[in-house]
Structure 1
Amino acid sequence: MLKGRRMMMVLLSLSMMLITMGSFGNKPAEAAPSFAKGADISWVAGMEAQGYKWKDKNGVTRDVLEILKNDYQMNSVRLRVWVNPSMSDYANGYMNAEKAAELALRAKNLGMSVMLTLHYSDSWADPGQQNKPYAWRNYTFQQLMDAVWSHTVYVMNTMKTKGVTPDWVQIGNETNDGMLWNDGKASVNMKNYAWLVNTGHNAVKSVSSSTKTIVHLANGYDSAVFDWNIGGLIANGANFDVVGMSLYPSSTDWSTKVTQTITNANQMISKYGKEVMISEIGMDYNQPAAAKSFISKIKNDVRNISGGKGLGVFYWEPQATPGYNGGYAKGAWQADGKPTIALDGFLN
């Protein structure tokens, strides 16, 4: 009899452990900011490994995340994750789930929220290239969906082990013509694209039900592409929470492009019932006054979208110095290690 009671106690303890684990496995995100002002900082770890340091506007060397938060009122960071970046000729292993989780923890410890951008590639995914990871290259479509699921859950759980629950996760990056080509190429098979988005969305929600998923397209002013892509996804049963947009105008056309982007954002809200996030913005570092005006304008216009449906604005890699990584010229730091005035546009 005593043996039976002990067995019942063991089984009860195991049941309670499983319930607790299940609850933790679906841990909700911490409260997202009412309006996200942020930066994609994915290059930071690699730059630090190369010996880069950053100064504030007074010339004092400080942690770059602290500068972004305390000097420019940023409350969020964006981090991209590649499947196996060591397979590409870039990154030297950076921008994997583990490195992203380390950066995410640094941001969380400063009180900042986190957006993940899952590229589902070993290297850059954007409108011109959506290459499958090398390990997935010969998969059937079912195997591809299974890989998207398992990779997404793996990245989310890698974050969770650091105590970080992202507020937003992009299912792909700048998927103007879909993802994981050619299986998920939207112009070839919109339904496959929708199923891949669904798979990523469901995988995110399986770990954190309150994390918002994003479908992110480039050229936020191009309403025709957004209508075709977002409308096609929804017509094919795709589930996601937010429409993400990129905008990289010039110093002469930024005002027009912002107006067009906000018009497009309002159309996405009214036609499809989706919230909108400006996931990436940038402008040439040698036009800092125009960049400041651009940032201020788009920040205020997105924040003023009716119903609070404009969720925020992220600057892409502001900590990049002129010409970093083979010529990137849209950062907001100068060669002397001090920031330009561009990021002042984020100040309230």
Structure 2
Amino acid sequence: MKRPGLALPLCAAVLVAGAGAVAASPASAASGCRVTYAVSSEWPGGFGANVTIDNLGDPISSWTLAWSYSAGQQVTQAWNSTVTQSGPQVTATNAGYNGSVGTGGSVSFGFNGSWSGSNPVPTAFTLNGTPCTGGVSGSPSPTPSASPSPSPTAVSPTPSPSPARPSPSPSPSPSPSPSASPSPSPTGKRLTMLGADVSTLQRAADLGAKYYDASGAQRDPLDILKGIGANYVRLRIWNNPVSGYNNKAKVLQYARTVKAKGLKLLVDFHYSDTWADPGKQYKPAAWASHGIAQLQTDVYNYTYDVCSSLKAQGTTPDSVQIGNEINVGMLWNDGKVVDNDFTNLSLLLKAGYNATKACNSGTQVIIHTADADSDANARWFYDGIRAKGVPWDITGLSYYCYWHGTMSTMASVVADMKSRYGKDVILAETAYPYTTANADGTPNVISSSQPCSGYQATPAGQGANFTAVQNTARDAGAIGVFYWEPTWYAVPGNGWDPADINGSGDGWDNQAIFDRNGRLNPNVRWTP
């Protein structure tokens, strides 16, 4: 998912379906830098954007990219660079490289902003004072994709937590009705993976956050979740995050807590030091200069090491994700799908799968995209990896109705994925707000009073939406549904940005199932 912050991966910068940038033909270093600017998401009064600069030239030890806005946009937050604005003039400096430093190198960064009136493409890009003569391409505004298959250079991802995970338009989700019964489907189908991604909970606990059940009794949050039906915990893992959380040591530590509660464990490998989602898949800094051959070894060794370390302490993962929302690949640019060529991505996925099975043959491998909004996009991706011989056990999809549209569409995608590939399907992420109120200084990723048709942003609406998502997924043949960050209510110091966990806030607090005081919404529960 997108995270909170900018366009949150929250989790959470993401390009929403159909909002991807359209890349221009590569320009040589001699012809100057080339900029790809893509609005990844829009919401009332605001937007999230991702920028990539290619053909940086050689040498580049520092850089400043400048551009102008013409319609009142104002940058409010940024990640992977320092972005400032004075009047219509915006400058960004020194984001981390996504490729080799020097000729042909590239950098990517993202930001959130506010706007009024319209949101046109910015103009007059210059790099270190020199116009980017290679051209500017991109999407001024995310619009639903009509194309039956995503182009690798025209990313059609969906949100994943990163800094802001807003969507271009809250799509209606009329079916099923909010009054759908929480009881299991009469068809005999069951959800066996009733999951919660609680990746921020360890930090919350360290900061002294308190959790209360619906009656107001203070209890361990995992016990509360288990008491309302959850049986699975999902934990993301970053290679070397600045925050010191969600890394190998912390995941090993918290896995012991999870397993001691009798819960199953899904480890979500991002293969990055920060959020990975459809709009960005940054290599870990330690792997930044590695090509595809070395990256295969990196993925294998890292996956095997984490899995084996978990196994050695008696907390073998029940399942793992090889990548997070990898709509057009992972470990960009080497593992990105370009011109419909899945070769490099397939090598990385095979490395992750083989490492997992070498660690423990019974651990199930999930390959996760955010394609619940488009069967054509989902087929493009999973057909592509299947054609390259990639093995996997479970197909994972993200589904947020305000980004991915109607539940009937989601049901069609789930059913088709199950029948087409003969593999179990889960919704690896979903969530819904219980209020429009904001509990801290960071704007909520979703702030509408009715983000999806039929479901108000109220405690009852949140519970009804989650029940409907479970019922719809179950009836379509899914075996699991995971709520993304149900315990992430606003706690100072538990921010979305791993590079500034103390200073950044929580754009997801109104989608937690615990209110700003840590008390459970009694309308929410998992049902098999």
- Report the TM-score, using the length of structure 1 for normalisation: 0.82
**1:241-292 deviation per Cα after TM superposition (whole angstroms, max 9, x unaligned):** 1110111124xx99x6222111101111222222101111011231232221
Residue 423 of structure 2 corresponds to: 274
Q: CA deviation at 1:293?
A: 1.6
Q: CA deviation at 1:301?
A: 3.1
**2:191/2:474 contact within 8 Å kept:** no
Q: Write the distance in 2 (CA, Å) between the matches of 1:131 and 1:295.
A: 31
Residue 197 of structure 1 corresponds to: 349
**1:299-337 deviation per Cα after TM superposition (whole angstroms, max 9, x unaligned):** 22333345xxx2211101101115862222321111122
Residue 176 of structure 1 corresponds to: 327
Return the letter of the residue paired with 2:480. Answer: G
Q: CA deviation at 1:34?
A: 6.6
Q: Write the distance in 2 (CA, Å) between the matches of 1:316 and 1:162.
A: 26
Q: Write the distance in 2 (CA, Å) between the matches of 1:322 and 1:50.
A: 11
Q: Does 1:331 align with 2:512?
A: yes
Of the candidates 368, 377, 382, which is equivalent to residue 225 of structure 1?
A: 377
Of the candidates 299, 312, 315, which is equivalent to residue 480 of structure 2?
A: 312
Of the candidates 107, 111, 116, which is equivalent to residue 267 of structure 2?
A: 116
Q: Write the distance in 1 (CA, Å) between the matches of 2:191 and 2:380.
A: 29
Which segment is superposed worse, 322-331 or 132-141?
Answer: 322-331
Secondary structure of the 1:198 match is helix
Which segment is superposed worse, 144-153 or 296-305?
Answer: 296-305
CA gap of 1:34–1:166, structure 2 versus 1, over 3 A, is farther
Q: Write the distance in 2 (CA, Å) between the matches of 1:293 and 1:174.
A: 26
Pairs within 5 Å for 1:91-106: 92-106=243-257
Q: Does 1:284 align with 2:436?
A: no
Of the candidates 185, 194, 203, which is equivalent to residue 336 of structure 2?
A: 185
Secondary structure of the 1:244 match is strand
**1:285/1:333 contact within 8 Å kept:** no
**1:6-35 deviation per Cα after TM superposition (whole angstroms, max 9, x unaligned):** xxxxxxxxxxxxxxxxxxxxxxxxxxx970
Of the candidates 291, 294, 297, which is equivalent to residue 140 of structure 1?
A: 291
Q: Write the distance in 2 (CA, Å) between the matches of 1:292 and 1:219.
A: 24
**1:241/1:275 contact within 8 Å kept:** yes
**2:470/2:527 contact within 8 Å kept:** no
Pairs within 5 Å for 1:206-221: 206-221=358-373
Of the candidates 175, 196, 209, which is equivalent to residue 52 of structure 1?
A: 209
**1:295/1:342 contact within 8 Å kept:** no
**1:66-91 deviation per Cα after TM superposition (whole angstroms, max 9, x unaligned):** 11002x111110000011112xxxxx
Which segment is superposed worse, 191-200 or 331-340?
Answer: 331-340
Larger helix share, 1 or 2:
1
Identity of counterpart residues, as a percentage?
36
Q: Write the distance in 1 (CA, Å) between the matches of 2:319 and 2:346.
A: 19
Secondary structure of the 1:221 match is coil
Q: Write the distance in 2 (CA, Å) between the matches of 1:66 and 1:103.
A: 14
Of the candidates 223, 234, 238, which is equivalent to residue 82 of structure 1?
A: 238
Return the letter of the residue paired with 1:218. Answer: A
Q: CA deviation at 1:129?
A: 0.8
**1:218/1:245 contact within 8 Å kept:** yes
Return the letter of the residue paired with 2:311. Answer: K
Secondary structure of the 1:343 match is coil
Return the letter of the residue paired with 1:273. Answer: G
Q: CA deviation at 1:95?
A: 0.3
Q: Write the distance in 1 (CA, Å) between the matches of 2:191 and 2:415.
A: 18
**1:285/1:322 contact within 8 Å kept:** no
Return the letter of the residue paired with 1:304. Answer: D
Return the letter of the residue paired with 1:163. Answer: G
Larger strand share, 1 or 2:
2
Q: CA deviation at 1:179?
A: 0.1
Which segment is superposed worse, 261-270 or 289-298?
Answer: 289-298
Return the letter of the residue paired with 1:115. Answer: L
Q: Write the distance in 1 (CA, Å) between the matches of 2:338 and 2:460.
A: 39
- Report the TM-score, using the length of structure 2 for normalisation: 0.55
User: How many residues are paired up?
Assistant: 303
Secondary structure of the 2:194 match is strand
Secondary structure of the 1:304 match is helix
Q: Write the distance in 2 (CA, Å) between the matches of 1:276 and 1:330.
A: 24
- Structure 1's unaligned 5+ residue stretches are 1-32, 87-91
Of the candidates 46, 63, 69, which is equivalent to residue 226 of structure 2?
A: 69
Residue 13 of structure 1 corresponds to: none
- Extract structure 1 runs of 4+ deviating beyond 6 A: none
Which segment is superposed worse, 233-242 or 196-205?
Answer: 233-242
Secondary structure of the 1:216 match is strand
Residue 200 of structure 2 corresponds to: 43
